[in-house]
Amino acid sequence: MTVVEKPGALTGSAENQQRREFEELVRRHHQQAFNVAYRIAGNRTDAEDLLQETFVRAFRFFGNYRRELPFESWLYKIMSNLWIDTLRKRPRSGPPVSLDQTLGDTDQKLDVPDPGPGPEESLIEGSLDARIQEALSSLRKEFRIAVILADIEGMSYEEIADVMKCSIGTVRSRIHRGRQAMKKKLGSLERFLNEEV
């Protein structure tokens, strides 16, 4: 059915055009953006939340988006700010508590959800992937984002500096220190890299 807009319905038309353009960008970029969100967040639930909040904020500030720049860079700028912000606001965990410890006078034990990938995910994504994700998740947030943007998204240091709002020298240092920490965590990768071929 062809919808003919009334000449007086200009407001609705401009808003709809903006929405349609944004929805197209969601369709086009959500898979790749999910992959990045997953690597940043470390699990599906947090990745989905992060991605949803990123797109919601991106739409809210769509008027600030400069069309001559890649949409992904702008999206990752929002995503990384959001993630850093989320981490900053997250309450610090208290002293470690044994999972076998009972609660008060009852026999009830702590029921702690596992934020990591479930057994099915680990199986599907393979052992090397799981180990790398674990090493990535252990990095400081700034190092993690810089390494992900460089090694998964293939962004240049200049682009990463723009996304992370820092100098190229800082990007260089974050990527290098992130990779060094990962290497320390992963140990020898030679065997893994040969096995997976």
Partner 1 sequence: MNCGRTSRLISAYLDGELPGSEMLAIREHLRSCQRCSAEMEDIRQVKAAMARLTPVRPAADLEARLLAAVAQVETPATVRFGAWLMERLGGHLQPAAAAVGVCAVLLAISVGHLPQADHWQDPVAERITQTVKLPETPQDRAIEKLISASANPVELPGARSAIEPVFASPASISMTSAILVPVSDSAFGAR
Per-residue binding letters, 157-176, with partner 1 (x by CB under 8 A):
x-------x--x---xx-xx
Supply φ then ψ for residue 102, to 5 degrees.
Answer: -85, 155
Q: For residue 143, what are its two tokens?
A: 């190092």
Report the nearest approach of partner 1 to the CB of residue 112 (Å). Answer: 24
Q: Return the number of the residue (32 or 102) whose C-beta is nearest partner 1.
A: 32
Q: How many CB atoms lie within 10 A of CB 128?
A: 14
Using the rule CB under 8 A, is 55 a contact of partner 1? yes
Nearest to 170 by CA among 152, 153, 145: 145
By CB under 8 A, residue 151 contacts partner 1: yes
14: contact with partner 1 by CB under 8 A: yes
Which range touches partner 1 (CB under 8 A), out of 93-101, 106-114, 143-151?
143-151
Q: From the CB of residue 32, how many other CB atoms can be counted at a distance below 10 Å?
A: 13
Q: Note whether 63 binds partner 1 by CB under 8 A.
A: yes
- Among the listed ranges 38-46, 90-98, 99-107, 108-116, the one in contact with partner 1 (CB under 8 A) is 38-46
| Dihedral sign for Cα atoms in the order 96, 91, 141, 154 | positive
- Looking at the DSSP bridge assignments, the partners of residue 109 are 102
Q: Determine, following the binding rule CB under 8 A, whether residue 145 of this chain makes contact with partner 1.
A: no
| Angle, CA 149 vertex, CA 36 and CA 144 arms, to 5° | 80
The pair of three-digit structure tokens given for residue 46, joined into one six-digit string: 């947090």
Tokens of 15: 């808003």
Closer Cβ to partner 1, 61 or 167, answer by number: 61
Query: By the 8 A CB rule, do 69 and 63 touch?
Result: no
Residue 19 vs 140, nearer CB to partner 1: 19
Identify the CA nearest to 151 among candidates 116, 183, 115, 192. 183
Interface contacts to partner 1, rule CB under 8 A: 8, 10-11, 13-15, 18-19, 22-23, 26-27, 30-32, 34-35, 38-39, 44, 47-48, 51-52, 55-57, 59-64, 77-78, 81-82, 85, 125-126, 128-129, 132-133, 147, 150-152, 156-157, 165, 168, 172-173, 175-176, 179-180, 182-183, 186, 189-190, 192-193, 196
